[in-house]
Amino acid sequence: MPNTYDLEGRYALVIGGAKGIGKAIADLLVASGATVRIWDSNAADVEGASSEIVNITDSTAIRTALQRISAREAPDILVNNAGYLGSPREFVAHPGEDWQRIIEVNLLGTMRVTQAVLPRMLEAGRGRIINMGSLAGKEGLGTLAAYSAASAGIISFTKALSRELAGRGLFVNCVAPGPVDTDMIRSLGTTAVNAMIADSPMKRLGAASEVAQLVAWLCTDASRFNTGAVFDMSGGRARY
């Protein structure tokens, strides 16, 4: 039976929660008793959660959506999970508009949403921010230069922000999955997926539900000395 956690009375905002890892996180937070709201560029269907289509590359759209959340339901959990992979290609041939979108969604979207939500957390004196990065941000992946750079930025942003907020009741951590069995990874094609599996010491892809377990634990009071940390979810693939 899957683990659940005691998150009764907590209010969670999950960015990119319509499918894949984000949906698994939203499902588990709901099952653990949290009130969950999803922002995504696509319609979300997560039982027990409310959802809204929000463009996180637009600061005005973020502020407008946040104004629709009452002070009583202000998020004390923020999961920044929005991600755009793009198509693998050599950087010299990567169209500028595509790699700029990768940076806009993954890195700048994370920063914009966090900056908008943070004042409410600071006022409340508590909060958990979990930024979803990638193993690519630690190791760099050929033909995914922009995605790797965006993920590395998320890791550094997590560490820097955690230092600002340490001791103020706010904890900021990053989860950096390796290949997880999602539509985004499957879209790379069978050859690429098989190569990822072959490179894994566990000889499989991760499951979105496994990533969700770590995220949910980081939202609990059991995790009270972890901030600025980067947690690999790679089945042993990470090399440092």
Tokens representing 217 are: 């634990």
Angle between helices 59-67 and 109-124 (to 10 degrees): 30
Dmax (CA) of the chain: 50
**Whether residue 5 lies in the annotated active site:** no
State how far the alpha carbon of 187 is from the alpha carbons of 11, 15, 25, 105, 121, in Å.
Answer: 33, 21, 21, 18, 37
Cα(11)–Cα(76) distance, rounded to whole angstroms?
Answer: 6
Q: Which of 11, 84, 147, 240 is catalytic?
A: 147
Considering only CA atoms, which of 226, 125, 127 is closest in space to residue 174?
226
Cα(169)–Cα(171) distance, rounded to whole angstroms?
Answer: 7
The side-by-side arrangement of strands in the sheet containing 35-40 is: 50-53, 35-40, 11-15, 77-80, 127-132, 170-177, 230-233
Q: Catalytic positions, please?
A: 147
